[in-house]
Amino acid sequence: MCDDNEETQVPETQIEEDNNPTPNENDSNLAVTENNDTEATISTQAAMNKRKGRSPAWEHFEKKEIRGQINAVCIHCKNILGTSSKNGTRHLLDHVKSSLYKRQRTIDQSMLNPTKLSDGSVKLGNYNFDHDHARKALANMIILHEYPLSMVDHIGFKMYSNALQPLFKVCSRNTTKKDIFKVFEVEREKTMKLLDTNRSRIAITTDMWTSNNQKRGFMTITSHFIDDAWNLQSRLIR
């Protein structure tokens, strides 16, 4: 009787093995696919981050598609620049430096502009110093009074200019000479446009004059005409 009971007993180890589920081949393939997708996503994101952080220039630009091409739009001044791979990002960095410098110069040059009112009181307002406008005013002063170009190199003139406006940087005589020629070209262009629209006759004369400072003679070509308001106009052409 005891022998029959021993033969019918089932080993405990066998029961434990039967309770463990048999791994499914489809589940293994699904797990491998999910792992591959996760690794691909991580690799793509890492590549995008690496590509985005390749140049610090992209911290100041936004990519925008314009007419089928990807361009870089400056977040400071909204200028549009090309993004051709052969050019790199050097031109973007140069633009950023120039744009930030102009913004900083405008901020640094903000000053108070006192305005005297009719009742004698003074009103303060914002004032931005324009260095280019100051250079043009200096060129006009030299033209008007026939000052020598060497005056911009005088120590006294530099001290006086610094006392009036510390932000003004006195240019050299060569730079001032170029500014004077720019003024001449602008005025000559205005004269030529005025002559084109003038309906009266024009008289051309050749004049000789001597500079008071340099004691040198000059020959000029001057146009004389009556404008639409019946005023005599004499304009230097050359």
Burial of 217 (0-12, 13-18, 19+ CB in 10 A): exposed
Picking from 99, 165, 159, 180, the residue whose alpha carbon sits closest to that of residue 131 is 165
Q: Are residues 98 and 143 in the same domain?
A: no
Residues 138 and 214 in one domain: yes
Mean per-residue pLDDT for 69-84?
A: 80
Whether 83 and 153 map to the same domain: the answer is no
> Among residues 235, 233, 231, which one has the least CA distance to residue 221?
235
Q: What is the mean pLDDT of residues 55-76?
A: 81
Report the pLDDT value the prediction gives residue 139, as an integer from 0 to 100: 94
Do both 91 and 141 map to the same domain?
no
pTM of structure: 0.47
- Same domain (yes/no): 141, 89: no
What Rg, from alpha-carbon coordinates, does the chain have? 41
> Last residue of some domain: 72, 107, 142?
107
Does 30 fall in a domain?
no
In the predicted structure, residue 35 carries a pLDDT above the cut 50: yes
Domain count, the chain: 2
**Residues 227, 134 share a domain:** yes
The per-residue pLDDT for 153 is 92
Query: Within this chain, do residues 142 and 179 fall inside the same structural domain, yes or no?
Result: yes
Average pLDDT value for residue range 185-214: 85
Instruction: Check residue 217 and give its pLDDT.
Output: 81
| Range(s) of the domain holding residue 224 | 128-236
Residue 103 tokens read as 């913004």
Residue 73: which H helix or E strand, with range? strand 69-74
Same domain, residue pair 232 and 137:
yes
